[in-house]
Structure 1
Amino acid sequence: MQSNNANNEEKLASGKLEKDQGNEYFKKGEIKNALRHYHLALFHLNGLQNNKTFAVFRKEQEEEPKNDPLQEDITKTMSVIYSNLAACHIKEQNWDKAISYANKALKHDPENTKALFRRAQAYINEGNTTRAREDLEKLTVKNPDDAAVKREWYNLKMKDKEQDEKQRRELKGMFNRKKKQDEKEEEEKKIEESEDDTYTSASASSSKTNPMEPRFIELED
């Protein structure tokens, strides 16, 4: 068991090293390199959680598990890495991926406020203002004076305004198209009625012509 823990500690250390290297690349704006190191960090850490070899048949597994500092460290480190991956994808404006990684970060550590903040950012930019508002409300409860959170509230307000204006434009466009279609149909109806009146008038005029009188006289050579 001791050797297994030692192996896990070694992998955790390697994962943290890759994470730190990813952080350095992120600070320099080299997002692709940052992503590569974050994924390498996960490669070292995946499979380490609750890795209890030969513990399946142990009676204590049926009891409430005790706090394991190593497992807690692994879990929190993975949450940080997933949150940092979300930050990378926000930089790249990949909102779906940012939300997905933020969700993974929060699954590992529900108290990861950075992951919650980044998910709110991605939701705002994606246009999901309902979910963004839920996340910002949670963040405001945790830290009501946070300037970054207040800034995202403002961004959310602007996104709401933008969506309202877009909806009004779309409704106005639909109304104008309907109006033009109605005007076109009305014009076509008038043309048809005019043609009917002309045909009726012509028919009435021709009925007054002497049936014995030739209507067309052909010239002879």
Structure 2
Amino acid sequence: MSKMIDDFNKLKENGNNAFKEGDYEAALDFYTKALKVTSDESYERATCLKNRAAVYLKQGKNNKVIDDCTKSLEIVPDDPKALFRRCQAYEAVGKIEEAYTDAKHIHRVDPGNKAIQPVLTRLFAIVTKRVQENEQLQNKVSNMFKYVFDPLTPTDKRLTAVNNLVVIAREPSGANVLMKSGVAKKINGLLKCEPNDEIYLGFRAHSG
């Protein structure tokens, strides 16, 4: 056991030195070798995983950062460094809500952490804006549905609504709102009984 610890400490130290020198490939190699001499659920393993994540962060390999930090946090859930690195990686891949969750976690466990304050402020602003935009989009979709699925609505308004829904569906956020609304089932039901050829063809042209 003592030899394993000695091997781990030596490899970790070599990895730390290589990282400080900017030799990220060497650091990655040392940390990966160090992981092989750690036991599952050990503090040493958690440390090595978050250190290797720091290398991946420098290399822009954000999905690997997320993976290593997540594994590290499964062992030490409140580690600010692992949380911060995963937060940065989440933001880099566009997972803003997840990044914001990690930022809030860091603030809870380490309220004096000055580095997280500007990140928390920035992410809060982005998340708030997205929530507002999503609410506006949901209202717009709801209004379009009122026109599209009401056969008593004038044809020109229904066609405009169909075209608007098609445009909304082309955006990831719009597609997500539409999927949650059960639009596919509603459209399939409409196509079975829609008497207006223009409405029918408008949907058929953009449906699977």
- Determine the C-alpha separation between the residues in 1 that align with 2:102 and 2:51: 18
Q: Secondary structure at the match of 1:144?
A: coil
**What displacement does 1:12 show?**
1.7
Q: 1:81 aligns with which of 48, 51, 58?
A: 48
Within 5 Å, give how 1:206-221 maps onto structure 2. none
- Find runs of 4+ consecutive structure 1 residues off by over 6 angstroms: 161-164
Specify the alignment match of 1:133 in structure 2: 100
- Determine the C-alpha separation between the residues in 1 that align with 2:129 and 2:11: 40
Name structure 2 gaps, 5 residues minimum: 135-162, 165-208
Specify the alignment match of 1:124 in structure 2: 91
Q: 1:100 aligns with which of 67, 76, 80?
A: 67
| 1:160–1:94 Cα change, 3 Å | farther
Specify the alignment match of 2:19 in structure 1: 26
Tell me if 1:142 matches 2:109.
yes
Describe the superposition over 1:74-122 as per-residue Cα deviations: whole angstroms up to 9, x where unpaired.
Answer: 8111101000111111111111000000011111222322111111111
TM-score w.r.t. length of structure 1: 0.55
Q: RMSD between aligned alpha carbons?
A: 3.1
TM-score w.r.t. length of structure 2: 0.58
Name structure 1 gaps, 5 residues minimum: 1-7, 50-73, 168-177, 180-221
Specify the alignment match of 1:59 in structure 2: none
**What displacement does 1:19 show?**
0.6
**What displacement does 1:160 show?**
5.5
Within 5 Å, give how 1:184-195 maps onto structure 2. none
Name the aligned partner's letter for residue 77 of structure 2.
P
| 1:137–1:20 Cα change, 3 Å | same
Alignment: residue pair count:
141
